[in-house]
Structure 1
Amino acid sequence: MTKKVVVAGVGMIPLRKPTASASYVVMGAQAARLALADARAGYESMQQAFVGYVHGDSTAGQRVLYDLGFTGIPIFNTRNGGASGSSALWMARQAIASGEADIALALGFEQLNPGAPQAQFANRPSPLEPSFAQCDPRAGGIDIPPALRIFGAAGLEHMKRFGTPLETFAKIRAKASRHAANNPLAMSRNILSPEQVLADTPLWPGVMTRAMASAPACGAAAAVLCSEAYARQYKLDSRIWIAGQAMTTVGSKALPGVDASDGASYSMSRAAARSVYEQAGIGADDLDVVELHDCVAHNELLSYESLDLCPEGGAQKFVDSGNNTYGGRYVVNPSGGLLGRGHALGATGLAQCFELVQQLRGQAGKRQVEGARIALQHNVGIGGAAVVTMYRN
């Protein structure tokens, strides 16, 4: 990266169930205004804007930001599955690091219909076909939503390869509920025990219960990024900066049918994380807090290994030792993550950014990770994209 990029402001609204949310226009504008107020910057000072969402029309970003003003700036829309928000963040960071802009807004939002998210274009090939090719042989024709089939197959593969018990995934889900209980922006704040998670309705017998899958949510989050020089000139908060960032898609080593975990973004995540560690000159051992993509408990477990938080095959021991929560080696998803906070698709990557910036500022309240100075964000979209970002104070 050429120029040092700082996160001058963040904003997020509470996540809501699809039956209880405002429109994407209202939610997106609220989050953007919160981020701008946090940065002490006006929308008229934004030089570019990048907007992530999954379910929406092609220029939905313009529709939201026009409520903040008609300034004529470039507004880019990105749809990269669950990584849409962090893709917007990546583009804003790239624009500033390259010198194309001095200050930019990254925004993510999602307005969903009730029920499991459905394919929007049933008359054409699904972009998830390569992931299905890797995961469906393990799924055995089970009839559950596509994302659960993909991540469940990857989890099943881990169970067979390393002897990981179903109880480990239940412990991950229970941990998420304990963390979310302290997050006023979380959609659910009910604490679950591992036993309650295991006793919930089976979605895939022996592999996944309903509680192990994140609930679809509606919401919005945003961040204001700028160069360090701009922050100093206009007296914006420059404490939190991006020490490394990488976005990856499927590489040549992730061949269809070889490994179900690659259908669930394992190789992409590992490549992105290792690129970030190299950029920053900082390894996983130096991290204090992590927000990772736990769309299902199975992907959180896989991500421990792909992000090098523990050795391959070591996730069960990592969980049993409490190294994923307060008092352990790392605090993973202090916000509650997607499992506890809710998965608002296009907003998720920027909700992670919001949480980590609050942590590094020491402003996370009951969720605060003591002495947090280095944070890692991991966000994926099946199909696919993986974005990993390291923040430092």
Structure 2
Amino acid sequence: MTKTRVYVIGVGMTKFEKPGRRADVCYPDFAKEAITKALQDANIKYEEVQQAVTGYVYGDSTCGQRGHILHPYWPIISIMYQQYFDRANPMERHITEMSELTEIGPGPMAAQIFGNAGKEHMKKYGTKPEHFGKIAWKNHKHSVNNPYSQFRDEYTLEQIMKSPQVVEGVLTKLQCCPTSDGSGAAILASEQFVRRHGLEKQAVEIVGMEMASDPASTFADKSLMKIAGYDMTALATQRLFAKSGYKPQDVQVVELHDCFSANELVTYEALGLCGEGKAGEFIDRGDNTYGGKFVVNPSGGLISKGHPLGATGLAQCAELCWQLRGLAEKRQVTGAKLALQHNLGLGGAVVVALYRLGFPGAANAKL
């Protein structure tokens, strides 16, 4: 079968905010801002869009339709998440398995899951608490140059390590993502549409995308890192690079799911950015920031940019498209040609994707 090329031709997002900070703004306003920016970026009219898909968290069943400025022109598919307490929790098995391996302490359950993964990495490979702190230091430093970031303050490593403990011995407050509101949008198009509208110079190709869920090893191998999603990330990553023909070393810029600094550290290895057990050395060499092998989370990541769950993935996509198009201003990664995205939800699902700037026959093709 002939491969169908798919391109991101426009992206947009809002500044991420603390929920309730702007009493005069509701989710339809966030959605309108992000979508309008994406349409303007692509230089197309909303009547040209043939289908819309919306994703959101903690909303009612038709929030997607209510928040979408394209309505009533084209069908809108809503992908949502609501929280209920009268049915089985999708994380029930993960938490049960974790409780058999370690003591469940006070504090948010998500922080404990990822924090315990970090503790296992420390015990197994000799990683130090400072390695997790250095990740947060890096991401807060990156966010200073991102006008869309919820927090733009730079901290010293000492300040990060001495901020209030969330998971004892591994995670402090400044190593954890905040609660956030916001919106992101991306417009996808076919090769024919790109040519017809003269968008070759800005079209970012989705080279490949893979999704995986928890394999049997998540529970069978009695590993806290695997309960936190290590194996499903590794599985999706292996499929992605095998199908695309690229290697992790071909990537220059990465946006990954750093809900907690411990997850960013573990994910380095699952994505193949460094060898198993080598994340501490990877961090100490500065291979996760400007001047190193990769720049990871130039946006500031979830830790500093913010984490409005339904918008996180599209915000990552927007950042990587800006990087590949050379539009990231002070946070621009020099020579960005191939970008890697990683987004994860426990329970579990993970998506990894590769993007590159370039169009068949276009003068700007980089790869």
For the criterion TM > 0.5, the same-fold answer is yes
TM-score (norm 2): 0.93
Q: Distance in 2 between matches of 1:218 and 1:139?
A: 33
Aligned to 2:120: 157
Aligned to 1:70: 72
Which of 44, 50, 54 is residue 51 of structure 1 equivalent to?
Answer: 54
SS of the residue 2:219 aligns to: coil
Aligned to 1:230: 193
2:6 corresponds to which letter in structure 1?
A: V
2:291 corresponds to which letter in structure 1?
A: G
Cα shift at 1:256? 5.2
2:111 corresponds to which letter in structure 1?
A: L
Q: Distance in 2 between matches of 1:298 and 1:136?
A: 19
Matches within 5 A, 1:159-198: 159-198=122-161
Cα shift at 1:194? 1.4
Q: Distance in 2 between matches of 1:123 and 1:216?
A: 24
1:41 aligns with 2:44: yes
Aligned to 1:374: 338
Cα pair distance change 1:253/1:139, threshold 3 Å: closer
Identity of aligned residues (%): 43
8 Å CA contact 2:101–2:222 kept in 1: the answer is no
SS of the residue 1:380 aligns to: strand
SS of the residue 1:241 aligns to: strand
8 Å CA contact 1:133–1:256 kept in 2: the answer is no
1:30 aligns with 2:33: yes
Q: Distance in 1 between matches of 2:338 and 2:304?
A: 23
1:389 aligns with 2:353: yes
- Deviation string 1:196-244 (CA, Å, 9 cap, x unpaired) is 1110111122121111111111100000001111110122345310111
Cα shift at 1:139? 4.5
Q: Distance in 2 between matches of 1:190 and 1:183?
A: 11
Q: Distance in 2 between matches of 1:369 and 1:148?
A: 30
Q: Distance in 2 between matches of 1:366 and 1:172?
A: 20
- Deviation string 1:148-204 (CA, Å, 9 cap, x unpaired) is 111111111111111111110000000001100010110001101111111011112
Q: Distance in 2 between matches of 1:332 and 1:351?
A: 14
Aligned to 1:112: none
Which of 330, 346, 350 is residue 310 of structure 2 equivalent to?
Answer: 346
1:211 corresponds to which letter in structure 2?
A: L
Q: Distance in 2 between matches of 1:130 and 1:56?
A: 25
Aligned to 2:17: 16
Aligned to 2:291: 327
Q: Distance in 2 between matches of 1:136 and 1:47?
A: 48
Q: Distance in 1 between matches of 2:221 and 2:242?
A: 30
Cα shift at 1:138? 4.4
1:242 aligns with 2:244: no
2:171 corresponds to which letter in structure 1?
A: M
Count matched residues. Answer: 353
Aligned to 1:94: none
Q: Distance in 2 between matches of 1:32 and 1:250?
A: 33
Q: Distance in 1 between matches of 2:220 and 2:61?
A: 31
1:6 aligns with 2:7: yes
Q: Distance in 1 between matches of 2:344 and 2:58?
A: 16
Unaligned runs of 5+ in 2: 358-367
1:52 corresponds to which letter in structure 2?
A: G
Unaligned runs of 5+ in 1: 81-118
1:130 corresponds to which letter in structure 2?
A: R
The RMSD of aligned alpha carbons is: 1.5
- Deviation string 1:337-378 (CA, Å, 9 cap, x unpaired) is 001111111100000000000000000000000010100000
1:306 corresponds to which letter in structure 2?
A: A
SS of the residue 1:187 aligns to: coil
Q: Distance in 2 between matches of 1:135 and 1:2?
A: 42
Q: Distance in 1 between matches of 2:163 and 2:30?
A: 32
